[in-house]
Amino acid sequence: EAQVTQNPRYLITVTGKKLTVTCSQNMNHEYMSWYRQDPGLGLRQIYYSMNVEVTDKGDVPEGYKVSRKEKRNFPLILESPSPNQTSLYFCASSFVQGDRGANVLTFGAGSRLTVL
């Protein structure tokens, strides 16, 4: 089954304790991206990756890191989590069709993170 898999789905941690949220897709998509969703704000892009070893900042990259060493994986790293990073996180992927081609995102089920 074609899907985007995120882990963990739920996590409670404490301020300053490094954590990684994994994201893996089995559709051979070039494009992968991370978003956070907060009440009343909609989804906001954190980082995205056009292909292996190519990453770029979204609208809210502060406090996050990413890496794209393999095409299928795009982990989100919080080096020193803070309470304002408590949120619902989504990973998504899609094909890239030309420089400005259409791309339909496939989303993971979400990871709910609480930082105390």
Residue 11 near other proteins by CB under 8 A: no
Task: State which of residues 56, 79, 82, 84 lies at the interface with other proteins (CB under 8 A).
Answer: 56
Q: Does 108 bind other proteins (CB under 8 A)?
A: yes
Q: Does 5 bind other proteins (CB under 8 A)?
A: no
- The contacts of residue 9 (CB under 8 Å, 6+ apart) are 109, 110, 111, 112
Q: Which of 13, 45, 86, 114 binds other proteins (CB under 8 A)?
A: 45
Question: Taking CB under 8 A as the rule, does residue 54 contact other proteins?
Answer: no
When asked if residue 113 is in the footprint of other proteins (CB under 8 A), the reply is: no
Nearest to 73 by CA among 19, 23, 6: 23
Judged by CB under 8 A, which of 23, 24, 29, 31 binds other proteins?
31
- Which stretches of the chain bind other proteins, using CB under 8 A? 4, 31, 33, 35, 40-45, 48, 50, 56, 58-59, 88, 90, 92, 96, 99-110
